[in-house]
Structure 1
Amino acid sequence: MPHDLSVSTGTKTSAKVKRLSIPRVQSTTDNELQSQMSQSGSTPLQPLSLYCLSFRSDLEQSAIPSTVQTRLLDLFQQIQKEFELVCMENITLQEKVDGLSEKLDKECHSSGERYLLPNDNADYTEKSQFKQKGTSLPVSSQKVKASNKLKAQTSKIVSSFKNPVVACSMQRQYSGHKDGIWEISIGRLGQPIIATASADHTARVIATDSGRCLLQYIGHNGSVNSVKFHPTIDLALTSSGDCTAHVWQAAVNWDISKQQETSDDISLDRTSMTATNDDQDEPPTLRTPVRELLGHTGAVMAADWLPGAEQIVTASWDRTANLYDAETGEIIHTLCGHDQELTYVSTHHAQRLCVTSSCDTTFRLWDFREPIHSVSVFQGHTEAVTSAVFTREDKIVSGSDDRSIKVWELRNIRSPLATIRSDSAANRLAVSSTGIIAIPHDNRQIRLFDLCGQRLARLPRTSRQGHRRMVCSVAWSEEPGAECNLYSCGFDRLVLGWSIVPIKET
């Protein structure tokens, strides 16, 4: 089962800060201090003046000589002033950290290999030219050229944010699960539904327009780690920590849903942008699968349909992937070769191909188009590969815990076409039919890039918009005219619907 992290966000700073680096505040009242601490998100404290009055009262009733009382009060007042100064310094420091974090996020996130820093093993033009000539750059020349190149790269990155390429806004919020949500899947065209796989041992089918849970599958005995709809009929495929994968009937009764919506007089508040099903009646439940896929000895992390949906591929923590007959549930072939646990499996939209991701820092391309299966190993990451998916342009995009996302040519396993650097591990990403990569991160953010590695946008993350814990998975909807065309889920137990609209250049 994917690791559950209590994700900390923001810029890491040293616990010890030189006080001389921050201007001291001469004086402040208790009310001002309380107000500023509240605005900065700090926990309000009891005014120190109250403690001072209480302490003075206790002293007056004690037998301590007056001279000693005066000295004690003076010391206590000095402590009060020092405490106020420390609080104000912390507030000022936090504001500076927030400002630097935002600036760093805008200016220093590389996009594409042409923006990599020198210590990222990038082959710069100057370096490659001198390699071909068999000479080396002088140290001073290297520094000047690297400095000029870095300035040019920074200006390019900054200029790309002055004119946003896409407009992003959160439109819907769906809730109901009792634990984190590992994956989200989009229904077939014409069906306004999504499916969610959760650590609460259930999978849900949810209506996107109303937010109502239409069906709840409770047949697994462990965390449900993935969910995929059948491409043509009302079936769903789930994988679980109970070492099995299930095929189950995902047909829903739309008439009952509409009747419930009318009786409950549901009205979606567009201001709050929330469609919740927390208070609804218990949704219809399903416990018995149509087919149970056995054979793994470890948690099954993901499962997907091959084109035609006659066969199913699973990926497990037992370091193997299994190819099943969808009709009989029998194992056709066991795919071996990974050295560590598998994390994900994804299939091609048209050809009998699949990619399996693993904690061994690689992902493998399996070709089932010939009787003798072939395999290609892609190496390029330094930590676990969390997902690898196909694009419509016959490329592969891989994400990793090493905080990088790479775009690969399907027929070139030696080097990536583009590399995207980030500040947080990437989870189960998705690529739209138009070539936009949506990347969910451990630090609660979702970023959009194109296949060339150029950053397009970062989805909003405020108190009212965005996830509050790590984002586990994203999925694109290709439904024409739909209110939301991107959905995300995370360990805050929420599914968010986003509107991603390209901005036309004028």
Structure 2
Amino acid sequence: MRLVRFLLRYYPPGIILEYEQGSQTRTRTIDLLDLTERSNIYELVAQLQANEPLITPSKTDQVAKLLLKLQSKLSSPDKHHYNHYKTIRTHVLPVTNVSFNKSGSKFVSGSYDRTCKIWDTHKGQELHVLDGHKNVVYAVAFNNPFADKIVTGSFDRTAKLWSTETGKCYHTFKGHTAEIVCVTFNSSSTLVATGSMDTMGKIWDVETGVEMASLQGHNAEIISIQFNSLGDKIVTGSFDNTVAIWDVETGHKISSLIGHRGEISNAVISYDDTLIGTGSMDKSCKVWDCRSGQCLETLYGHTDEVLDISFDHRGKQLLSVSADATARVFDVGSYKCLATFVGHEREISKGTFNPSGKRVATASSDKTVRIWDINSGKCLQTLEGHSDEVFSCQFNYSGDMLISGSKDNTCRLWKDANSGKLAGAL
């Protein structure tokens, strides 16, 4: 093996090794999820050299400089201020979901008008109309980080796989007997998973379109589905109050996470595959050990249904948003509530961390998106302009742009005009 170069990954922090093995160029990623502003860089370099043969003593100074650059990025203040950039009237009927590709250069929207559309983010230009579903297109997803394919899930009981570049439909996945409400790719983009109101999840081969496994065991609709980063397990959340962990290869259930007393609103896996976070209509969140299936902690504080949850990029913090019009951030290590965000006038349906994990965006039925500071708990900005409920918000990879989707049939793009590009970031 011969090392070709190092690449930095800012979110979450890590170093990517590009190397040659035989005639092929390969990559290997070293996650640095515990890197902090106080980490001793040269001790960390020594640890990396002990575990990674490609990092030889001759590379010590180079690796140290990269780690210092990452450390500097972690310690730099987040000063993004978002201004309205574009309003895009995406569909003739309400939008159901929107999602960026990894870089944020494109986004995809699904709608009640039975179509999905691909957009150029910066130009606000429609690139392709993905037409073919016979009912509402409810769920959409890019195969990030590649972003050359899109999967859509529809109330017509089918999912479709599309080319991002041409808009061509590669496959129509048929087999569900009720509406499909959640879709996702595995990290290598070889598999698609779908979850349906027929109580089943299904796994499909991207290349052939063939059904690889049927996940049977829930007794109510599946409303969330996610592969772990290794791609060997999949997690489903259901209205039967439970979450299930499945073996991807066999489709067999590994364990059921039982403990919530209300319907599951979302189930998410931390970046390092060690934890599962769940939110429920029982007004609580839970954190589970992904390997053992044991509940590690129940997080209380909301006075109404928890409608969405998410981990930050490192898996160190958990965000919950609620019908009580508040959001909360919990430290996953201590399970303490770090901040409670109060200011929305109606329920919050969606919440997300920015890439640095220092800010949170929340989308609300009060027609606004709010940006919050995690350390102070203060609302930094209220993004106004939508004329109906805002149900979706998402940052791009660099954190200098935000997209919001609303029942007013529009997506609004919000941009920090003073922000530059992240040189060298992946």
TM range (shorter): 0.5 to 0.7
What is the aligned partner in structure 2 of residue 441 from structure 1?
Answer: 364
Structure (1/2) with the larger helix percentage: 1
- The residue number in structure 2 matching 1:306 is 228
CA drift of 1:427 comes to 1.5
Which ranges of structure 2 fall in alignment gaps of 5 or more residues? Answer: 1-78, 91-108, 115-134, 421-426
Q: Deviations over 1:390-445 (max 9, x none)?
A: 10251111011111111111123343433243112111322231234232223443
Secondary structure of the structure 2 residue equivalent to 1:350: coil
- d(CA) in 1 for partners of 2:137 and 2:404? 10
CA contact (8 A) 1:246 1:290 kept: yes
Task: Give the number of the structure whose residues are more often strand, by fraction.
Answer: 2
Q: Which amino acid aligns with 1:246?
A: K
Q: 2:318 is matched by which residue type in structure 1? A: I
Contact 1:181 1:489 in 2 (8 A): no
- Work out which of the residue numbers 302, 305, 316 in structure 2 matches 1:384: 305
- Give the counterpart of 1:236 among 187, 192, 196: 192
Deviation at 1:490, TM superposition (A): 5.4
> 2:278 is paired with a residue of what secondary structure?
strand
What is the aligned-residue identity percentage? 22
The amino acid that maps onto 1:392 is H
Deviation at 1:217, TM superposition (A): 4.1
Q: Is the 8 A contact 1:446 1:471 kept in 2?
A: yes
Q: How many residues align?
A: 299
- Structure 1: state its 5+ residue gaps: 1-162, 253-285
Structure 1 match to 2:374: 451
The offset of 1:205, in angstroms, is 5.0
**What SS does structure 2 have at the residue aligned with 1:423?**
coil
Give the superposition deviation at 1:219.
Answer: 3.7
Map 1:152-231 to 2 at 5 A. Answer: 165-170=81-86, 173=90, 174=109, 177-178=113-114, 182-205=138-161, 217-231=173-187
The amino acid that maps onto 1:396 is L
Q: Is the 8 A contact 1:306 1:353 kept in 2?
A: no
**In the alignment, is the contact (CA less than 8 A) between 1:180 and 1:491 conserved in 2?**
no
Q: Among residues 415, 419, 426, which one is paired with 1:500 in the alignment?
A: 415
- With normalisation by structure 2, the TM-score equals 0.60
**Structure possessing the higher relative contact order (Cα contacts under 8 Å, 6 or more residues apart):** 1
Q: Which residue of 2 aligns with 1:99?
A: none
Aligned residue for 2:20? Answer: none
Q: What is residue 106 of structure 1 aligned with on the other side?
A: none
C-alpha displacement of 1:383 = 0.8
TM-score (structure 1 length as normaliser): 0.52
Q: Once the two structures are superposed, what CA deviation does each residue of 1:246-291 show, in whole Å capped at 9, x if it has no partner?
A: 2223459xxxxxxxxxxxxxxxxxxxxxxxxxxxxxxxxx6x5322
Q: Would the aligned equivalents of 2:236 and 2:245 in 1 still touch at CA under 8 Å?
A: yes
Mapping of 1:36-115 within 5 angstroms?
Answer: none
Range with bigger deviation, 311-320 or 449-458: 449-458
User: What is the letter of the counterpart of residue 315 of structure 1?
Assistant: G
Deviations 1:127-156 (A, max 9, x none): xxxxxxxxxxxxxxxxxxxxxxxxxxxxxx
Supply the distance in 2 between the matched residues of 1:213 and 1:171 (Cα, whole angstroms).
28
| Counterpart-to-counterpart distance in 2, 1:322 and 1:500 | 38
| 2:214 is aligned with 1:296 | no
**Whole-Å separation in 1 of the counterparts to 2:396 and 2:364:** 20
In structure 2, C-alpha distance between the alignment counterparts of 1:205 and 1:400, rounded to whole Å? 33
Q: Within 5 Å, which residues of 2 pair with 1:463-502?
A: 466=386, 470-478=389-397, 486-489=402-405, 496=411, 498-501=413-416
- Taking the aligned partners of 1:190 and 1:237, their CA distance within structure 2 comes to 17
Per the alignment, residue 322 of structure 1 pairs with: 244
Q: Distance in 1 between matches of 2:148 and 2:383?
A: 23
Q: CA separation in 2, counterparts of 1:403 and 1:368?
A: 30
Tell which structure's C-alpha radius of gyration is larger: 1
1:387: Cα distance to partner?
1.3
Is contact 1:182–1:473 with CA below 8 Å preserved after alignment? no
Report the AA paired with residue 234 of structure 1: T
Deviation, structure 1 residue 385: 0.6
Cα distance in structure 1, aligned partners of 2:380 and 2:162 = 29
